[in-house]
Amino acid sequence: MPLTEPEILQWLLEPDEARVEALYREADRVRHEHVGDAVHLRGLIEVSNICIRQCAYCGIRAGNTSLQRYRLSRDEILECARQAVMFGYGTVVMQAGEDYGIERDWMGEIIQTIKRDTPLAVTLSLGERSEEELRVWREAGADRYLLRFETSDPALFSMIHPPVHGRMAESRIEQLLRLRALGYEIGSGVMVGIPGQRYCSLAHDIALFGELDLDMIGVGPYLPHPATPLGAEALRPSAGAGEQVPNSEHLTYRVVALTRLVCPQANIPSTTALSTLNTQEGRTLGLQRGANVVMPNITPAQYRALYEIYPAKSCIRETSSDFHAQLIAGIRALGREIGEGPGGRNKKAASGGRV
């Protein structure tokens, strides 16, 4: 029997740290039982920081005019893919702002080339795109698509995601289902501690991960960016006294652990946002509390600082090869292995864990 939404809420509010430790142990056990000890590495390529959206929390929003914008060339992207193969990664994740300069056929050809010339799985994280684009990219060989719904509270969602003028707003849930129907593995997730986010809505988010039977789930703390309305506190959604979820490291671990219990087979990364809050241990603790994936950044060094969705991203200072060597050693020190192959979702009949 998987956790119910009221039980998830209780765990988010649990004051007894010893019980929370037991929750973490159970999440680690369920992770071991359902997805094993392999840690899958996905090379993250930040293809473009150009974005037409005005998301109230995100540093690469269109309204941030102080940011220098870039889009990688085809050759730069293919070079990153070669590097991913060299490091032994099984997947590349191409992520960008909602950049319509990333044209359907240009991206289609890049996907096709990567699939033809390498054994890599290809994950896309390119924002809300048309059905036609998504179909062409799927036919070109893309395997997976990431689109976080960020919060399942419709009022909060619409406050922090102004719609694009002249475009029909389709909910992110609908878009995820459409992606699945196209044959993608689907990934989603939320930020923890968005101003205005209530504990009960976060509990609902986690229950929804299970209902959607997501293949991949990424959660990280909300990190304020001063060049955004939310970060500059020009926009202050209110959750009411005692109801606001903190954007803390500790609460993020609880969300990772509960996510594992609700979705035992999902691929769950220990996120960069988490290691930004705790550069020493964040990644490791995520892996010990339910996560089984790490997404090393392989974007060319000169562009790293420009993909500033939040300040002081932990990967800015790292070179890909230094980071790679440390990461491998760190994973082995935990008694875990490096995942081999594409590391897609392994669907089998299974029941969730209970504490």
Pick the stretch among 24-32, 103-111, 221-229, 296-304 that binds ligand 5AD (CB under 6 A). 221-229
Interaction between residue 269 and ligand 5AD (CB under 6 A):
no
Stretch that binds ligand 5AD, among 106-114, 173-181, 199-207, 217-225 (CB under 6 A): 217-225
Among 11, 24, 57, 137, binds ligand 5AD (CB under 6 A): 57
The least CB distance from residue 57 to ligand 5AD, in Å, is 4
Residue 260 or 313 with smaller CB distance to ligand 5AD: 313
Name the residue nearer to ligand 5AD (CB basis): 26 or 46.
Answer: 46
H helices of 144-243, in order, are 154-160, 172-181, 199-212
Q: Please, what is the angle between helix 199-212 and helix 249-262, to 10°?
A: 30
- Count, residues near ligand 5AD per rule CB under 6 A: 12
- Window of 34-42, 73-81, 162-170, 216-224 that interacts with ligand 5AD by CB under 6 A: 216-224
Complex with ligand 5AD: residue 253 or 355, whichever CB lies closer? 253
Nearer to ligand 5AD, 26 or 57 (CB): 57
C-alpha to C-alpha distance for 245 and 200, rounded to whole angstroms: 9
Closest separation in Å from C-beta 51 to ligand 5AD: 10
Which helix (H) or strand (E) is 186 found in, with range? strand 185-192
Here the contacts of 276-282 (C-beta below 8 Å, separation 24 or greater) are: 276/223, 276/310, 276/312, 276/313, 276/314, 277/221, 277/223, 277/248, 277/249, 277/252, 278/249, 279/314, 282/249, 282/314
Q: Which of residues 190-209 bind ligand 5AD (CB under 6 A)?
A: 191
Taking CB under 6 A as the rule, does residue 309 contact ligand 5AD?
yes
- Binding piece for ligand 5AD, criterion CB under 6 A, among 65-73, 205-213, 218-226, 237-245: 218-226
| Residue 294 touching ligand 5AD (CB under 6 A) | no
**Contact of 271 with 230, CB cutoff 8 Å:** no
**Residue whose C-alpha is closest to residue 209's, from 169, 254, 260:** 260
Shortest CB 332 distance to ligand 5AD, Å: 28
> How far is Cα 49 from Cα 309, in angstroms, rounded to an integer?
9
- Which of 225, 260, 283, 324 binds ligand 5AD (CB under 6 A)? It is 225
Provide the mask over 310-339, with x wherever binding to ligand 5AD is found by CB under 6 A and - wherever it is not: x-----------------------------
Least separation in angstroms between CB 61 and ligand 5AD? 9
Backbone angles phi, psi at 94, to 5 degrees: -95, 115
Chain-centroid distance, C-alpha 4? 24
223 binds ligand 5AD (CB under 6 A): yes
- Pair of tokens at residue 26: 């159970």
Given candidates 187, 195, 210, 220, which one binds ligand 5AD under the rule CB under 6 A?
Answer: 220
CA distance 88 to 161: 37
134: tokens are: 């998504």
CA 251/CA 70 separation, integer angstroms? 34
The dihedral through the CA atoms of 8, 9, 12, 17 has a sign that is: negative
**Where along the sequence are the contacts to ligand 5AD (CB under 6 A)?**
57-58, 148, 150, 191, 220, 222-223, 225, 273, 309-310
